[in-house]
């Protein structure tokens, strides 16, 4: 192939089409649990985290619920993925052999937010959120109706079992934040005057973005590594639905989503998808033989099984 600007543009459009096919064909769950927030600088500050405005009876002067200035920040990070194509590959009309590579690049790009967001769940027991505690913690400080500090938990710890997570994603505000400064974009460098093109005799195709993920409201998430039994699931639901904000007001948390990794897929599907369920061993969660009853937790929550969790 004689290399011309028009020919290189046609190749770029072809690679871009293949990239988009891979991108659109991948199934992502990141935005099921995270809200997308635009960013216009190197970082975003979220002063409103921790504020749960409630309607109350108007008695005397209106009580102003100002935003709590927690100063929680999420810094944008730059990500890229690049493929270099030798000039002779195009001259010899061999550029088509790279199609699977660009398709995979598109798929990986679509799932990159999943990697960032679900990574937060694993880090949640050891990473501080807006209130100065770990996102999943047994001691989140709140004020009761008498302005006395008390502590709230969104974490149940067992032994070395895999964690499972119960979330409320019904609100406009989500448990997690996906921040986007520069969206993922497929790009190319093919100008012969470019230093890399000239010195290495190769063209560059790739994707670039400036994004990051961070913690939103801990009140909308519960982590547990006790066995995923009906009893432990019921306890987590009750803890979330009884969640209160400062002054002791019920927030109205509605746990609607169970998130697990592949190791818990079977027991999670049995808990949420089976109409009847066997008697389970309270210690291990294993089903005991020769006995079953109606499953009261059937379809009580949606299920996400993600490879980005163990």
pLDDT band, very low/low/confident/very high, at 3 (cuts 50, 70, 90) = confident
* Gap between the terminal Cα atoms of the chain: 48
pLDDT band, very low/low/confident/very high, at 23 (cuts 50, 70, 90) = very high
Residue with the two structure tokens 């005799």: 201
**Rounded distance between C-alpha atoms, residue 181 and residue 290, angstroms:** 56
What pLDDT shows up at residue 194?
Answer: 73
Residue 72 has pLDDT above 80, yes or no: no
Which carries the bigger pLDDT value, residue 101 or residue 282?
101
Mean pLDDT of 75-101: 85
Q: Mean pLDDT across the chain, nearest whole number?
A: 86
Which carries the bigger pLDDT value, residue 124 or residue 145?
124
Residue 69 has pLDDT above 50, yes or no: no
Mean pLDDT of 260-272: 96
Sequence-separated (6 or more) residues with CB below 8 Å from residue 272: 258, 297, 298, 299, 300, 301, 302, 303
Residues 256/300, Cβ–Cβ less than 8 Å: no
Which carries the bigger pLDDT value, residue 8 or residue 297?
297
For the chain, strand residue ranges (E) read 34-38, 43-46, 72-75, 77-86, 140-143, 149-152, 155-156, 164-167, 176-189, 202-215, 221-224, 257-260, 276-280, 287-294, 302-305
What pLDDT shows up at residue 78?
Answer: 95
**Rounded distance between C-alpha atoms, residue 69 and residue 72, angstroms:** 8
pLDDT band, very low/low/confident/very high, at 307 (cuts 50, 70, 90) = very high
**Rounded distance between C-alpha atoms, residue 169 and residue 221, angstroms:** 9
């Amino acid at each position: 192939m004689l290399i011309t600007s028009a020919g290189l543009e046609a190749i770029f459009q072809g690679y871009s089409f293949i990239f988009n096919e891979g991108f659109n064909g991948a199934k992502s769950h990141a935005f099921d649990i995270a809200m997308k927030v635009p960013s216009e600088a190197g970082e975003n500050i979220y002063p409103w985290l921790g504020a749960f405005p409630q309607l109350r009876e108007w008695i005397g002067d209106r009580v102003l619920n100002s935003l709590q200035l927690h100063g929680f920040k999420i810094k944008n990070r730059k990500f890229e993925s690049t493929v270099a194509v030798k000039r002779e590959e195009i001259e010899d009309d061999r550029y088509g052999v790279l199609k699977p590579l660009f398709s995979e690049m598109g798929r990986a790009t679509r799932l990159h937010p999943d990697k960032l967001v679900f990574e937060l769940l694993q880090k949640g027991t050891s990473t501080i959120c807006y209130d100065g505690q770990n996102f999943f913690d047994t001691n989140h400080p709140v004020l009761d109706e008498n302005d006395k500090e008390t502590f709230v938990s969104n974490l149940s710890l067992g032994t070395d079992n895999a964690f499972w997570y119960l979330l409320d994603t019904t609100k406009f505000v989500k448990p997690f934040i996906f921040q986007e400064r520069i969206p993922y974009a497929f790009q190319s460098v093919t100008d012969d005057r470019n230093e890399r093109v000239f010195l290495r005799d190769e063209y560059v195709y790739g994707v670039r973005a400036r994004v990051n993920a961070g913690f939103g409201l801990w009140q909308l998430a519960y982590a547990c590594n006790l066995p995923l039994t009906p009893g432990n699931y019921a306890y987590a639901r009750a803890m979330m639905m009884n969640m209160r904000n400062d002054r002791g007001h019920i927030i109205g948390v509605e746990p609607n989503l169970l998130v697990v990794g592949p190791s818990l897929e079977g027991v999670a599907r049995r808990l949420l998808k089976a109409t009847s369920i066997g008697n389970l061993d309270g210690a291990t969660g294993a089903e005991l033989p020769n006995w079953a009853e109606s499953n009261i937790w059937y379809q009580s929550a949606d299920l996400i099984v993600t490879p980005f969790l163990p």
